[in-house]
Amino acid sequence: MIVESSLTETRSIVRAARQHGRSVGCIPTMGALHQGHVSLIEIARQQCDFVVVTIFVNPTQFGPNEDFTQYPRTLAADLEMCHAAGADLIFTPPVTTMYAGSAQTIVRVTKLAQVLEGAHRPGHFDGVSTVVAKLLNVTEPGRAYFGQKDFQQQLIVRQMCVDLDLPVEIITCPIIREADGLAMSSRNRYLSVVERKQASQLFQTLKLAENLAENSALPPPEIARQMLDYLKSVDGIDVQYAVIADALTLELLTDRSNSAVALLAVKVGSTRLIDNQILRFR
């Protein structure tokens, strides 16, 4: 496994692999890896000949009152996990490599990025789409792998690739969960013991929505209301949103649909968590 911080060297290594007929897969991450990330690497390993993992805590996707300085940085452990999962190349650029002082360009996806996470975290998706575009430009993969947990993010990246004619297939991989259903996240380590127990109710909320979609005739707004009521009944949880939306456009659904996703965002103590569940209406 190669570990490289140079943009030029990374591009050269990947191009050499491609010239030898090897298919390239890329997993963009911010480090603090967990089994969810490992699952992405393993899927890429099955589908591609050469697997690149990028580790970069991207400052432009954090708001002024968010956790950029506190975000966990565990490079040594991350490299061990990447090696064990079968990664070939790790790209770990410094901020000065990714963002020159003279940079003036932002990649902005419009409609998809204005709702839900975009409404609660202004500018977040500008940072995401810009850095992902840059990472894909450097690593030139045929496929890039993202987790379903960041549901809106994978839609936005997919739209960006279509709009910019980037020859990258976006692969969305299943959410990996703890035994009690909590979606694995680098931010879970912020939770206290009490908060960790409270956070498990996010999954129960999504299971409630799934059950109502499959076993009742309730319309999406009523199911969303029950999600919200359930979350509000849990001590320590501050709900930011709990909705049912179209799984392609993120427009809120008023009628039962074959393209539906339940999405929620909460704060448990000072930790912000998101989760989602694809719904199958009967």
Instruction: Tell me the catalytic residues.
Output: 37
Extract the tokens encoding 74: 């565990």
> Roughly how many angstroms between the first and final C-alpha of the chain, as a whole number?
47
Token pair 């659904």 is found at 253
The C-alpha atoms of residue 32 and residue 29 are separated, in whole angstroms, by 8
User: What dihedral angle (degrees, nearest 10) is formed by the CA atoms of 61, 62, 64, 68?
Assistant: -140
DSSP string, 168-213: -EEEEEPPPB-TTSPBP-GGGGG--HHHHHHHTHHHHHHHHHHHHH
The C-alpha atoms of residue 72 and residue 57 are separated, in whole angstroms, by 9
